[in-house]
């Protein structure tokens, strides 16, 4: 079975046309129809109303009506519309990614800070971890949910990981790190392992440990932040604030230790359960080094949680005030089970600036 290695990305397409002498005198709508033969007349008319400009501006256009406006030689017609652009993942052998370990089943890498894991609508560039992967391992294009074999443990014949459309931009990629976050990642080299490790992630059996320098001196030696997360405005995620339990109130901590019922979210709710454990490793003036173990894997979870208790990660320009990069958050260790049933743990060296 094969799948296209192209992915159509929706984006705003902007095109500009300069009216020639031969085209002068044409109505605006007929001029655009000649440029976009696949568009209907009604679609062109709607675009003219909202998304077409003619330069230099002519007040006669208002009197004659936009569609019927007659163009002149040298007029510049600009049109914007939503369209699908094919994007192909290209190998980039110039990228550098440290390899910690590899065998026939999987690969352990230390993702550099500043590297995006794979292209997407917000990053249509050929400078991602995925580009490095297909350059070094061309066969990895065929590793992922569209190719993974059915799981015998799933009631419908396939596990959650294998359900869905193929994504040619994520070859072998099982999990992600934020662009600014450095550290350890596991990448599948065969579909059997992809399915096996994906199921471990789904069941929260993969143990991940992070290191982070945070703003301020954290008072408690260890704690748990248990706050549901929901999508806020723009790119941000926010926590659902709750009243602290009696335990945290007695300790004077601003970290929540809610009862189980307080962190569960109703089916269909947009708020997602999120739990983060932390331990203080080192305190310095106005900053603290934490060892962090998230029990759930929500987007920006660690950053959102630490910011919510008044200790944002240093360098976090999204969730921390007056912060400047680099982001001092590092995926330090990862532990999982391999195909032989053995527990494996790998560690990624911290960046020099950490």
CATH of the domain at 108: 3.30.2350.10
Structural domains in the chain (count): 3
Query: Tens of pLDDT along 183-237?
Result: 999 999 999 999 999 999 999 999 999 999 999 999 999 999 999 988 766 556 6
Structure tokens at 183: 């550290």
Structure tokens at 42: 């009604």
Q: Helix, strand, or coil here: 270?
A: coil
Neighbouring C-beta atoms of residue 323, cutoff 10 Å: 17
Quick one: 106 exposed, middle or buried, by C-beta within 10 A (0-12, 13-18, 19+)? buried
pLDDT higher than threshold 50 for residue 64: no
- Examine residue 220 and state whether it is found in any structural domain, yes or no: yes
What is the C-alpha to C-alpha distance for residues 224 and 295, in angstroms, rounded to an integer? Answer: 10
SS in 3 state form for 14-27? EEEEECCCCCCCCE
What is the domain extent for residue 160?
89-203
Neighbouring C-beta atoms of residue 337, cutoff 10 Å: 14
Query: Tens of pLDDT along 282-328?
Result: 999 999 999 999 999 888 999 999 999 999 999 999 998 777 879 99
Q: Helix, strand, or coil here: 308?
A: helix
- Judge if 106 and 133 occupy the same domain: yes
Q: Is residue 178 annotated as part of the catalytic site, yes or no?
A: yes
Distances from the Cα of 120 to the Cαs of 13, 26, 89, 116, 125, in angstroms? 16, 40, 10, 9, 9
Query: Tokens 């799933």 appear where?
Result: 154
Query: Model-level pTM?
Result: 0.69
Q: Which residues contact 37 (CB under 8 A, 6 or more apart)?
A: none
- Judge if 220 and 266 occupy the same domain: yes
- Judge if 305 and 235 occupy the same domain: yes
CATH of the domain at 32: 3.10.290.10
- Judge if 237 and 349 occupy the same domain: yes
pLDDT higher than threshold 90 for residue 153: no
What is the C-alpha to C-alpha distance for residues 11 and 59, in angstroms, rounded to an integer? Answer: 31
330 pLDDT tier (thresholds 50, 70, 90) = very high
Distance of CA 171 to the CA centre of its chain: 15
- Judge if 77 and 169 occupy the same domain: no
Query: Exactly one of 178, 202, 322, 338 is catalytic; which is it?
Result: 178
Neighbouring C-beta atoms of residue 268, cutoff 10 Å: 5
pLDDT at 248: 39
What are the φ/ψ torsions at residue 63 (nearest 5 degrees)?
-75, -35
Query: Tokens 């248990």 appear where?
Result: 226
Identify the domain boundary among 203, 236, 265: 203
Query: Tens of pLDDT along 156-174?
Result: 333 444 444 446 789 999 9
pLDDT higher than threshold 50 for residue 245: no
- Judge if 167 and 234 occupy the same domain: no
Highest mean pLDDT among 16-25, 99-108, 311-320: 99-108
Q: Helix, strand, or coil here: 12?
A: strand
Mean pLDDT score of the chain, rounded to an integer? 81
84 pLDDT tier (thresholds 50, 70, 90) = low
Q: Residue 344: which H helix or E strand, with range?
A: strand 343-347
Q: What is the DSSP string of 200-247?
A: HHHTT--EEEEEEEEES---SSEEEEE--EEE-STT-EEE---PPPHH
Structure tokens at 297: 């894997």
% of the chain beyond a pLDDT of 70: 75
- Judge if 254 and 129 occupy the same domain: no
Identify the domain boundary among 176, 203, 230: 203
- Judge if 156 and 278 occupy the same domain: no
In terms of pLDDT, which residue wins out, 66 or 105?
A: 105
Lowest mean pLDDT among 17-26, 36-45, 286-295: 36-45
- Examine residue 2 and state whether it is found in any structural domain, yes or no: no
Distances from the Cα of 29 to the Cαs of 55, 78, 133, 221, in angstroms? 16, 13, 47, 69
What is the C-alpha to C-alpha distance for residues 81 and 32, in angstroms, rounded to an integer? Answer: 13
pLDDT at 255: 39
């Amino acid at each position: 079975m094969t799948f296209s290695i192209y992915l159509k990305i929706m984006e705003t397409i902007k095109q500009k046309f300069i009216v020639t002498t031969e085209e002068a005198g044409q109505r605006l709508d007929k001029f655009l129809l000649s440029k976009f033969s696949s568009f209907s007349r009604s679609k062109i008319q709607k675009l003219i109303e909202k998304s077409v400009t003619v330069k230099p501006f002519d007040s006669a256009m208002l009197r004659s009506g936009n569609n019927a406006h007659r163009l002149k030689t040298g007029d510049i017609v600009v049109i914007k519309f939503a369209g699908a652009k094919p994007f192909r993942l290209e190998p980039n052998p110039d990228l550098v990614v440290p390899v910690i370990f590899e065998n026939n089943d999987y690969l352990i890498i230390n993702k550099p800070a500043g590297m995006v894991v794979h292209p997407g609508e917000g990053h249509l560039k050929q400078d991602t971890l995925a580009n490095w992967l297909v350059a070094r391992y061309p066969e990895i294009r065929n590793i992922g949910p569209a190719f993974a074999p059915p799981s015998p443990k799933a009631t419908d014949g396939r596990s959650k990981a294998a359900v869905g459309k193929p994504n040619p931009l994520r070859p072998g990629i099982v999990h992600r790190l934020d662009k600014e976050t450095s550290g350890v990642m596991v990448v599948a080299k065969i579909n059997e392992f992809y399915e096996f490790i994906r199921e471990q992630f789904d069941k929260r059996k993969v143990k991940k440990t992070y290191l982070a320098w945070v703003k301020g001196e954290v008072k408690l030696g260890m704690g748990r932040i248990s706050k549901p997360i929901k999508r806020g405005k723009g790119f941000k995620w926010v926590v659902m604030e709750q009243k602290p339990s009696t335990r945290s109130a007695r300790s004077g901590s601003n970290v929540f230790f809610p009862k189980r019922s307080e962190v569960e979210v109703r089916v269909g709710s947009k708020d997602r359960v999120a739990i983060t454990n932390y331990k203080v490793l080192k305190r310095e003036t106005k900053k603290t080094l934490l060892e962090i173990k998230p029990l759930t894997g929500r987007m920006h979870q660690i950053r959102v949680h630490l910011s919510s208790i008044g200790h944002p990660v240093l360098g976090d320009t999204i969730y921390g005030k007056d912060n400047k990069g680099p982001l001092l958050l590092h995926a330090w260790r990862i532990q999982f089970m391999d195909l032989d049933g053995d527990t494996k743990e790998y560690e990624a060296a911290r960046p020099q600036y950490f």
